Structure formats: structure tokens, C-alpha cells
Amino acid sequence: MIIDTSALLAYFDAAEPDHAAVSECIDSSADALVVSPYVVAELDYLVATRVGVDAELAVLRELAGGAWELANCGAAEIEQAARIVTKYQDQRIGIADAANVVLADRYRTRTILTLDRRHFSALRPIGGGRFTVIP
């Protein structure tokens, strides 16, 4: 399962309205919990600016703790993501969402845990079809 920034923010912040639904998806998943480096960067910024440095450090330590599949994105993945950004440029999806599409292909999944239904209802898997967007 590919996990997007919005879902991780809700998971780590109990005050977020979708915290319980996202937590259930993560806590009950038998799939790898795949997180891109771009999602980590977005999440780090949001937690640091909205909640504070102590929360930021707690999130970073949790992500480094081994339960999460921290995916690598090299030059080939960035090029593939750039093609996706080009294809959907009217949607203004950005590298984080495009990398999630690339990682979904690499990990052979169509399941995306996100609260960003607008982008992921428009985006398509590299192999065709549709993503399963949860929660």
C-alpha cells in the first residue's frame, strides 16, 4: 500500500478528523507500508510548522523505526515521475503524487492511502486501470 502525505498527517495527528479511519487502515494492513522520500519531506514540513519540532522528531523516529517501507527514488524514478507530471499537468499534481504512482507500479499495488481524492481519482496506474483509494 502506498501512503500519501495527507494520510500520514492524519495518522500521526490525533486531532485530524480522519485519524481513526486512517489509523485503522494502517494498523490492520498486512501490506508493506510504502512511503516515498517526497512524502516524508512534505510530512516533515507540515508537522514541524503545524505541531512543532517535538512532534516532527517523534514522526521522523517512528518512520525510521522499521515498520515503514521507505522507498528510494533515483534518477529513473524522477524521470518517470516527470512524465506523469507532464501527462497530468492540468492537475498540478507535483512530484510527491507522481512518485506515488511510480512506486505503486514498482510495488505492484493499486492501493493508495490518501485523503487527496481529487488527484488520485484523476491519476491512473502506469499499467492502466484505476487506483483503489482508501480510506
- Which residues make beta-bridge pairs with 132? 111
Segment 33-42, tens digit of pLDDT: 999 999 999 9
State yes or no: 4 annotated in a binding site.
yes
pLDDT score for 125: 98
User: What pLDDT shows up at residue 47?
Assistant: 97
Percent of the chain with pLDDT over 90: 100
Domain 1-131 has CATH 3.40.50.1010: yes
Q: How open is the CA angle 88-123-5, to the nearest 5 degrees?
A: 100
Q: Where are the domains of the chain?
A: 1-131
What's the CA gap between 2 and 101, in Å, rounded? 9
Question: Is residue 105 a known part of a binding site?
Answer: no
Determine the pLDDT at residue 54.
Answer: 98
5 contacts 39 by C-beta, under 8 angstroms:
yes
The average pLDDT across 79-105 equals 97
